[in-house]
Structure 1
Amino acid sequence: MYKGWILIPVLLLAGCTEEGNPKKMEVDVFNPEGDSLGIVTLQEKSSGVELDINLEGLPPGEHAIHIHEKGICEPPDFKSAGNDYNPDDKKHGLLHPEGAHAGDLPNLIVGEDGTAKAKLSAPHVTLKEGKTSLLPKEGTSIVIHEAKDDGMTQPSGDSGNRIACGEIVKDKKK
């Protein structure tokens, strides 16, 4: 009788991932002067992508944070990142009845010391291939705005200028 060995192939297969689809990656975030503000770690979860934010050097207060449609962060205004990531053509805002964009996230709270440590969930995106992937050929980006997102105003929640940006591109695998 054959005993014990049947589990080995199952365990080996469980650890495999599809080529080119990272489960976790780090995104370096920079201000308009090119100074590093820290890292946002993206991790694939069963419910979307989790963003583990660890930044410093930001103005204190509440700030909009969005995923944008292009993986290009050219200072000083970061307009190169394009619009909010919206593959399903929804309205902007977590509070909008016809929303939200896939790239809409809850506001980021920055402490008086300029640090932001938070875990946010992006339930409508993935690091896997497909329509809602954060890793199309041109990538996507994380953008932090000067003001908070009101959750309704089109096209970006009346959140003001872009004050920080990080490129989400495949060659940043962890």
Structure 2
Amino acid sequence: MCRTVVPSLLSACALTVVVGGCAGTDEASSASTAGGTTAADASAPESGAGELTARLVDPEGGEVGVATLTEVEGGTQVEVRVTGLSPGFHGFHVHAVGRCEPDSPSPTDPAMTGDFLSAGGHLGAGEADHGEHAGDLPLLFVTEAGTGALTVVTDTLTLDQVTDEDGSAVMVHADRDNYANVPERYAPGGPDQMTRNTGDAGGRIACGPVEG
């Protein structure tokens, strides 16, 4: 069964459409065609509304997808399409710095290096717990064919936020994001700091600076 994926902690996200691997279901028929109409289209941008683009690349520099951020009536619509990624669910966020450099240092901890660490943490990470960051978005599902698509509208993210002085970047992670939702029966002391910061979404496998 194909299910629309809307993590409970992302209350600000009005709609999520996950495409792929669901042929033959009502959900897929309404969302999988490029020209199809989804509930998100009810908030389609007005003529002349702002739109930004992020071209996603892997650590080797190969382009693997594109994301668009558009002003709509309900907030900001984020739409992404990817190809050539590993199958399964992937953490998907907007990060605080518009730099996507392989094997780069973190802007907050230069001793820590890794692919796309130059993009910093999640947008809004210093203002709320993970799961409620302005840059937190629903999971991106990639099919066995390596393709995936997602459309979501959020009212916690604005185009002004993603175009501040140091910009921002759209990021796909290697693993799924648990949104720091670790039940007490598994961790009586609650999630550790890494889980509270990142949701254990793993390495950064695709990144794209947000551009006009």
TM-score after normalising by structure 1: 0.76
User: Could you list the runs of 5+ residues in structure 1 that have no partner in the other structure?
Assistant: 1-13, 94-99
Structure 1 contact 143–166 (Cα < 8 Å) conserved: yes
How many aligned positions are there? 142
Give the counterpart of 1:158 among 170, 185, 200.
200
Structure 1 contact 91–154 (Cα < 8 Å) conserved: yes
User: Could you list the runs of 5+ residues in structure 2 that have no partner in the other structure?
Assistant: 1-45, 104-114, 181-194
Amino acid at match of 1:91: D
Name which of structure 1's ranges 38-47 and 138-147 shifts more when overlaid on structure 2. Answer: 38-47
Give the counterpart of 2:209 among 160, 167, 174.
167
1:86 is matched with which residue? 124
Structure 1 contact 38–54 (Cα < 8 Å) conserved: yes
Match status 1:49 vs 2:81: no
Alignment of 1:1-174 (within 5 A): 23-76=50-103, 77-86=115-124, 89-93=127-131, 100-127=132-159, 129=160, 133-152=161-180, 153-168=195-210, 172-173=211-212
Amino acid at match of 1:86: G
- 1:94-120 deviation digits (Å, cap 9, x = unpaired): xxxxxx000011110001111111202
2:119 & 2:126 partners in 1: Cα distance? Answer: 18
2:54 & 2:153 partners in 1: Cα distance? Answer: 15
1:148 & 1:87 partners in 2: Cα distance? Answer: 18
Between the aligned residues of both structures, percent identity stands at: 36
- RMSD over aligned CA atoms reads 1.8
TM-score after normalising by structure 2: 0.63
Structure 1 contact 103–122 (Cα < 8 Å) conserved: no
Shift of 1:51: 1.2
1:87 & 1:104 partners in 2: Cα distance? Answer: 9
